[in-house]
């Protein structure tokens, strides 16, 4: 595959879990992503589910702990998991080394502020560059795409899905940051990457996008009631209120006893993939 370097490949549930690296034009760095290809007939093309990870994560977190391969093999779904930020020499990080900004915390936006603008272009990477690579090199039917994510990645999935409703047939999230303009994680990230003009943040805020007219037919969100970030950072009731006003069919499932971890995500991953598969055809 021209321009792609294989990192690893492992047989799983009759398919192949691969990891790939390439030089990204969007970020100006090397980027790594994971792709699970389920068993399929030669020449067949399959629907693709994009999974966006949360703060501090890479492609590896869901790949190692998400427990999606059995369902993907059964349902005939390709799953793609990109990294969460650019990495490497010369890539700016949070000046204080905090976990919620900089490396591992790209927030799926194209930064406009120094020193982040040259490399932090995760919106372009996830919505343009990586889909072109996946479409060119893997057996995907790009007419059947869906997207999901966790926490910061849930924010990314919701905002990308709301801005590209014709591309994604299904959108779901685990414990998403639904209104980043209104919570500390989002205010720090959007302010740092996009600058102080809060009007510029609205296109990367799911609740604001819905208020401004963006629509999807349906959303599925799972949220743990024991999540330590629920009240301050996640605030799913804001999404429920926005969807109610807009007439969007939101299924918001509050899960007693579950926290923010992959123990939570892996428990409900099968439900989400089946929800996606039903809409992908």
Q: Which residues carry out catalysis?
A: 151, 227, 260
Contacts 24+ apart (CB under 8 A), 85-93: 85/120, 85/122, 86/24, 86/27, 86/28, 86/29, 86/31, 86/119, 86/120, 86/121, 86/122, 87/29, 87/30, 88/29, 88/30, 90/119, 91/29, 91/119, 92/116, 92/119, 92/120
Whole-number Å distance between alpha carbons of 112 and 118: 8
- In DSSP notation, 149-183 reads EETHHHHHHHHHHHH-TTTEEEEEEES----GGGS
Whole-number Å distance between alpha carbons of 86 and 53: 14
């Amino acid at each position: 595959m021209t321009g792609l370097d294989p990192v690893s490949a492992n047989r799983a549930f009759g398919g192949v879990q691969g990891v790939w690296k390439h030089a990204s034009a969007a970020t100006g760095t090397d980027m790594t992503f994971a792709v699970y290809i389920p068993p399929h007939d030669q020449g067949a093309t399959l629907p693709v589910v994009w999974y966006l990870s949360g703060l501090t994560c890479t492609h590896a977190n869901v790949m190692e702990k998400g427990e999606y391969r059995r369902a993907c093999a059964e349902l005939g779904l390709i799953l793609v998991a990109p990294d969460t930020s650019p990495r490497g020499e010369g890539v700016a990080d949070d000046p204080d080394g905090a976990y919620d900004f900089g490396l591992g915390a790209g927030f799926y936006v194209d930064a406009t502020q120094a020193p982040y603008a040259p490399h932090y272009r995760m919106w372009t990477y996830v919505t343009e560059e990586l889909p072109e690579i996946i479409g060119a090199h893997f057996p995907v039917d790009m007419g059947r795409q869906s997207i999901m994510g966790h926490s910061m990645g849930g924010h990314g999935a919701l905002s990308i899905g709301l801005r590209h409703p014709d591309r994604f047939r299904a959108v779901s999230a685990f414990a998403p940051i639904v209104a980043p303009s209104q919570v500390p994680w989002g205010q720090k990230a959007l302010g740092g990457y996009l600058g102080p003009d809060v009007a510029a943040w609205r296109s990367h805020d799911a609740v604001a996008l819905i208020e401004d007219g963006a629509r999807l037919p349906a959303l599925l969100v799972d949220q743990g009631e024991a999540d330590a970030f629920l009240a301050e950072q996640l605030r799913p009731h804001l999404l429920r209120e926005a969807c109610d006003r807009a007439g969007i069919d939101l299924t918001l499932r509050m899960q007693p006893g579950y926290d923010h971890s992959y123990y939570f995500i892996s428990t409900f991953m099968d439900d989400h993939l089946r929800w996606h598969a039903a809409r992908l055809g």
